[in-house]
Amino acid sequence: MSTPQSLAHSQIDFVNNDFEALASHMRHCSRAHGRWFSARSHMQRVRALAAGRIVTMACVAAAFGIGLFAFA
């Protein structure tokens, strides 16, 4: 008597997949901590700060530009 395919247990190797994911993550981290790591880290923080305030920054820049044009 055979077992239906939907009831059969699949042969998934969770440990091997986790190990491969960890190895990939460790390779990515070791490449990321290169010569320019501190500069990229700082720029990422600046970008995250600016992204939340992009509309406000655009309005301030437009007002500043209009102000410079008015004085010129």
Query: Tens of pLDDT along 13-69?
Result: 666 778 888 889 988 888 877 778 888 889 999 988 888 788 888 899 999 999 999
| The predicted structure's pLDDT at residue 51 | 83
Q: Give this prediction's pTM.
A: 0.36
The CA–CA distances, whole Å, from 43 to 36, 64, 68 equal 11, 24, 28
Distance in Å from the first CA to the final CA of the chain: 92
* Six-digit token string for 6: 């939907």
| The predicted structure's pLDDT at residue 49 | 85
* Six-digit token string for 23: 């190895």
Give the tens place of pLDDT for each residue, 12-22. 666 677 888 88
| The predicted structure's pLDDT at residue 45 | 92
Show me where the domains of the chain are located.
14-71
Residue 8 has pLDDT above 80, yes or no: no
